[in-house]
């Protein structure tokens, strides 16, 4: 699978935006807690010793040399929190190794976080949250981490950060320093503020002094001052980056870190394509690689290194929602404005043939924007969904009230005749007539599609798809560009169709607006890839953010899913609920794998000869 835009803030980095909701506590009563969760449930008590998915006695030492989930192409920046530049792995998002936050996520709970830099939180739900910070917290240069640093970080992200942060922070009115180690965040009155305390709790903490001396908005390879377990070591532009574990890391013995961050160094190697990365693994230059190509996994691991046990293979279950991967259609372009055109384009993709001929049957079709999640729509709207959809009136097409849209299944022969016939009729009805074998509009302009990509990996998949589009009279082609050009064009929405995957947590929050809201549609660098501008979706996003129970949240998300699927904004591709890993026989793993994370960087350790996929929760 293709992950979207490595180094940018990801959905996982921003999606934990919640607070404890006390059952019988007065709404205006100040509450205190060692952790925060969406709807009040915390698995771990205040005196917990470590997370259940770690080995608290894991040895420290050794190294991990790997490829990040998307470390192909190039990088020119160590700042993953702005639009400018192509950020390196390990400095932001789910792979952040260098910045601490006030609280840190537990990956065996849907959405809970527990104190890291913060000892505890005090709050009035819907109004404000105050964090008491630990006085012992230090940056890698020995200077203290203070409330001034947390406030400066908030200000930078809200005013100058990536749109994903600016949109998510719009309802946080202010950050106020109450003392050297005490900070208060106040929420905009009337906003869905129930979700916001966890947003501010999980923001990275930058050094105020560092960014007073360095321009936050400029991409740079100068190492930022670290507040987390690792600091930046040797960096070779476009080739590799090494992170060094801080021996003086102040938080290494806290309950949230016990048994974690065990490697002395973590190095990410960069490759132009996946093939050379696989060769490097077999040659012993890499310790570990996750395989995203079904073809490679089925055909390229019959090697001496695998046969003699130097390289092990394991399939590890993934309990996270699969999110959505697909060909995203840019509706900002007039030729894609009609949903009938978009549906016709989607009908030309023959997943069943692709899965059989190209993927060795390893994948299942994606139907939903929230695939494999408890908020994936199915069948007709239930009562809760109906009550949300009905008041929206003619903003919602009547087709949304029928069965949730699923792409039709083909016989896998590669002909897909029924789909092609339906697509032809849709194009005819939308005014794109077939003239001398070409689809043209009323002015005689041809219907053209350019698939934009930065890697040859998808060519074998997109190529047959293009041939089906040509059967419809569409002039389609694939254009491959280098990584920097691709990044720039995607940020500026300069494409017809791209391939991307968006992921979501078990409790999606304000980042949903960055993916699907009208406000984000024309915000440069946002993840609203299709340019969705739908007032019904906007209204339901507000309902999701205002939800007071998980049932209410999931009902709003299912309703959103129905509208998005009915709008045919993307050509759904595929998913699998597992990670396929190949690695040297040098690692130890906890007996319990974190349900909602791979857990490699923070819970594995070096223990030569102990490699056993079962220990990592493998199938």
pLDDT digits (tens, 9 = 90+) for 463-481: 999 999 999 999 999 999 9
Q: Do residues 17 and 195 make contact, with C-beta atoms less than 8 angstroms apart? A: yes
Confidence category of residue 551, pLDDT binned at 50, 70, 90: very high
Indicate whether 94 and 187 sit together in one domain. Answer: yes
In DSSP terms, 315 is beta-bridged to 580
Range of the domain at 440: 326-533+565-575
- Asked if 473 contacts 434 with a C-beta cutoff of 8 angstroms, the reply is yes
Residues 484 and 582 both lie in one domain: no
For the domain that residue 209 is a member of, what is the CATH number? 3.40.190.10
Considering the domain boundaries, does residue 268 fall inside one?
Answer: no
At residue 240, what are phi and psi to the nearest 5 degrees? -165, 160
Asked if residue 306 and residue 189 are part of one domain, the reply reads no
Q: Are 444 and 341 contained in the same domain?
A: yes
CATH number assigned to the domain comprising residue 493: 3.10.105.10
Helix, strand, coil share of the chain (percent; to 5): 30, 20, 50
Evaluate whether 228 touches 207 at the Cβ level (below 8 Å).
no
Those residues whose C-beta lies under 8 Å from the C-beta of residue 488, and which sit 6 or more positions away, are 494
Q: Are residues 500 and 591 both part of a single domain?
A: no
In a domain, 45, yes or no: yes
Answer yes or no: do 31 and 104 share one domain.
Answer: yes
315 and 192, same domain (yes or no): no
Domain boundary among 172, 198, 213: 213
pLDDT of 282 > 80? The answer is yes
- Judged against a pLDDT cut of 70, whether residue 555 lies above it is answered with yes
pLDDT at 563 (0 to 100)? 98
Looking at the structure, tell me whether residues 452 and 305 fall in a common domain: no
DSSP string, 492-513: TT--SEEEEEE---SS--THHH
Tell whether 362 and 510 lie within a shared domain.
Answer: yes
Which DSSP state fits 618? B
Q: 């047959």: which residue's tokens? A: 464
Q: Which two tokens stand for residue 551?
A: 């049932």
In a domain, 2, yes or no: no
On whether both 304 and 337 belong to a single domain, the answer is no
Domain-embedded: residue 231: no
pTM of the model: 0.78
- One domain, residues 54 and 111: yes
Domain end, chosen from 168, 191, 213, is at 213
187, 213, 239 - which closes a domain = 213
Is residue 491 a part of any domain in this protein?
yes
- Asked if residue 84 is part of any domain, the answer here is yes
Is 545 among the domain residues?
A: no
DSSP string covering 382-425: -HHHHHHHGGGGGGS-GGGGSSPP-PPP--SSS--HHHHHHHHH
Domain count, the chain: 3
For the CA atoms of 208, 212, 217, 219, what is the dihedral angle to 10 degrees?
-90
For residue 605, pLDDT over 50 is answered with yes
| Burial letters 120-144, b for 16+ CB under 10 A, else e | bbebbbbebbbbbbbeebbbbeeeb
Element (H, E) at 320: none
pLDDT in tens, 296-345: 888 999 999 999 999 999 888 887 777 899 999 999 999 999 999 999 99
- The C-alpha atoms of residue 75 and residue 89 are separated, in whole angstroms, by 9
Going by DSSP bridges, is the β-strand pair 497-502/324-329 parallel, antiparallel, or unpaired? Answer: antiparallel
pLDDT for the residue numbered 94? 78
Please indicate, yes or no, whether residues 42 and 136 belong to a single structural domain of this protein: yes
In this predicted structure, the answer to whether residue 230 has a pLDDT above a threshold of 90 is yes
Long-range contacts of 607-610 (CB under 8 A, 24+ apart): 607/59, 609/585
Residue 404 domain flag? yes
């Amino acid at each position: 699978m293709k992950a979207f835009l490595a180094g940018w803030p990801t959905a996982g980095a921003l999606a934990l935006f919640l607070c404890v909701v006390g059952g019988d506590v007065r709404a205006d009563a100040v509450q205190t807690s060692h952790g925060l969760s969406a709807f009040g449930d915390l698995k771990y008590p205040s005196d917990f010793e470590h997370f259940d998915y770690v080995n608290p006695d894991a040895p420290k030492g050794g190294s991990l040399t790997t490829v990040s989930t998307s470390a192909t192409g190039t990088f020119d920046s160590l700042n993953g929190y702005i639009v400018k530049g192509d950020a390196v792995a390990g400095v932001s998002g789910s792979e952040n190794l260098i910045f601490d936050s006030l609280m840190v996520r537990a990956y065996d709970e849907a959405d809970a976080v527990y104190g890291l830099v913060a000892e505890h939180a005090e709050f009035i739900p819907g109004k404000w949250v105050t964090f008491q910070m630990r006085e012992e917290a230090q940056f890698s240069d020995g200077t203290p981490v203070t409330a001034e640093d947390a406030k400066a970080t908030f200000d930078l992200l809200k005013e100058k950060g990536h749109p994903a942060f600016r949109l998510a922070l719009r309802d946080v009115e202010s950050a106020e320093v109450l003392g050297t180690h005490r900070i208060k965040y106040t929420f905009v009155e009337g906003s869905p503020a129930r979700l916001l305390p966890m947003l501010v709790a999980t923001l990275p903490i930058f050094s105020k002094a560092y960014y007073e001396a360095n321009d936050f908005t400029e991409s740079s390879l100068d190492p930022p001052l670290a507040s987390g377990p690792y600091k930046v070591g040797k960096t070779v532009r476009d080739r590799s980056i090494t992170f060094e574990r801080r021996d003086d890391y102040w938080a290494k013995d806290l309950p949230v870190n016990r048994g974690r961050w065990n490697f002395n160094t973590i190095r990410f190697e960069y490759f132009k394509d996946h093939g050379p990365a696989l060769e490097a693994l077999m040659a012993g230059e890499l310790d570990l690689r996750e395989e995203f190509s079904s073809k490679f996994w089925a055909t390229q691991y019959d090697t001496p290194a695998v046969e003699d046990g130097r390289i092990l293979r394991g399939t590890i279950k993934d309990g996270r929602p699969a999110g959505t991967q697909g060909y995203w259609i840019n509706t900002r372009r007039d030729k894609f404005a009609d949903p009938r055109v978009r549906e016709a384009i989607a009908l030309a993709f023959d997943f069943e043939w692709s899965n059989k001929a190209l993927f060795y049957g390893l994948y299942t079709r994606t139907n939903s924007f929230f695939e494999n999640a408890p908020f994936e729509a199915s069948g007709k709207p239930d009562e809760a969904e109906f009550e949300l959809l009905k008041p929206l009136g003619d903003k919602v097409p009547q087709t949304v009230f029928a069965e949730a849209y699923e792409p039709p299944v083909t016989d896998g022969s590669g002909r897909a005749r029924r789909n092609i016939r339906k697509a032809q009729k849709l194009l005819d009805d939308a005014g794109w007539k077939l003239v001398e074998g070409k689809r043209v509009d009323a002015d005689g302009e041809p219907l053209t599609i350019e698939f934009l990509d930065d890697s040859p990996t998808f060519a074998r998949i997109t190529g047959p798809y293009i041939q089906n589009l040509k059967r419809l009279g569409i002039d389609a082609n694939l254009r491959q560009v280098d990584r920097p050009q691709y990044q720039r064009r995607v940020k500026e929405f300069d494409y017809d169709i791209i391939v991307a995957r968006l992921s979501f947590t078990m409790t999606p929050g304000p980042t949903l607006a960055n993916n699907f809201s009208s406000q984000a549609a024309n915000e440069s660098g946002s993840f609203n890839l299709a340019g969705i501008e739908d007032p019904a979706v906007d209204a339901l996003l507000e309902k999701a953010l205002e939800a007071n129970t998980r049932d209410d949240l999931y009902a709003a998300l299912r309703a959103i899913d129905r509208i998005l699927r009915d709008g045919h904004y993307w050509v759904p591709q595929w998913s699998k609920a597992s990670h396929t890993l190949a690695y040297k026989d040098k690692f130890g793993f906890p007996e319990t794998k974190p349900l909602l994370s791979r857990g490699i960087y923070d819970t594995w350790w070096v223990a030569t000869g102990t490699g056993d996929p079962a220990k990592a929760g493998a199938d």
